[in-house]
Amino acid sequence: MKSGWLKGCARGAAVGALCTAALIDLASAAAVEYPLWRPAVVLAVGLTAVLWPAARRPAWLTPPLRTTIPALLSLAYTAAAYLPDHNAPFGPGELAVLLSLLFIAVRHCPPRWSVACAVLDACAVLATPLRYYGQLPPDGALGFTLVSLILIGIVAGLAAYLRSLDYRRTVAVADTRREERLAIAADLHDFVAHHVTGILVQTQVARMMATTRPDALDPVLAGIERAATEALASMRRTVGVLRDTDTEADRRPVGDLAAITGLTEGFGGPTQRMVLDRDPSLPADLPHEVQAAAFRVVQESLTNVRRHAADATTITVRLRQADGALEVTIRDDGRGGTQLPAEAHGGGFGLVGLRERVTALGGRLWAGPAAGGQGWEVRARFPTAR
């Protein structure tokens, strides 16, 4: 609020200064009984080009047009001074307008137009002393030219510096959006792979039960329906984010410690027991990025259990906090027996992606055979200090 007020005050002061300088130009022309319409036209067009609010500016009034038309009018005004009966005056208002247009040309014009428009505005500034070609002494003309060159250099340098900052910000925003979209695409892969693998496993179970226990098929089919619904919801949320960069936060893919409970409740089958062991003292306000990464570790680990250890009878997910760190452990007692098709085993990059996520947060990831030689264990440790 305060920043907006300060910007409004600064803009108001700039507008007031330009208008005051323009009135000084008109007063100077009136003092020498010069026709006021000439400087009035130049100043009116220049002030319109500089001060027209961006929100109300028509599409046809592009930066090249804004910066070239007033400069051409100023040059024409200067050329008229060479007529025998004219010594056209100039003052601070016209110079301020031309320098403002120079700033706009360097900072806002497209690259192919920027140099040409800036040179035209600079020439208009340097040509103004020619209106007094018969009255200014050589030293005065040279001094004014040097001052004009210094002002042109300062304005053009400042505009070029701000343009470089704009470019760097644009590149940084583009890089951030690209990285975010890559992360969202990775999230989409994690969600869909988890749910689709569950659908595949439960479909195999349903096929086996169709001949042996057809009366017990309903829970399995309900699990398939739930997994398909969650997969569609995940894809809808993620695609919505990719389509709209200004998406509300509640449409982003959800993944935190609370979601791990739902993840484990929907996991498993008739012959598998899912155990969630969460430390009651574990706070719920851990950093969001830590919670999201912990969720991904559990999700990917459970997906790997389905892919590579479908014969596991007990899967345990343990959440602990110790020594200022969150420890996530996923363990199964499978022996690697699975009947999934080779195409459903994935590309083998799941743990690589997990390691990148965990390492990026300053944590560590370990995966290997469980103690005792039976089953597999994945452990992740995340620092929780904000």
Q: What is the mean pLDDT of the chain?
A: 79
Q: Angle at which helices 288-308 and 138-212 pack, to 10 degrees?
A: 40
Domains and CATH numbers, the chain: 2-136 (no CATH), 258-386 (3.30.565.10)
pLDDT at 164 over 60: yes
Distances from the Cα of 180 to the Cαs of 12, 245, 362, in angstroms? 39, 10, 19
Using H for helix, E for strand and C for coil, what is the string for 102-120? HHHHHHHCCHHHHHHHHHH
Question: Per residue in 367-377, pLDDT tens?
Answer: 888 877 778 89
* Section 236-241 average pLDDT: 61
Residue 108's closest CA among 57, 146, 150, 149?
A: 57
Q: Is the pTM of this model over 0.75?
A: no
Model confidence over 66-80: pLDDT tens digits? 999 999 999 988 887
pLDDT of residue 136: 60
pLDDT band (50, 70, 90) for residue 117: very high
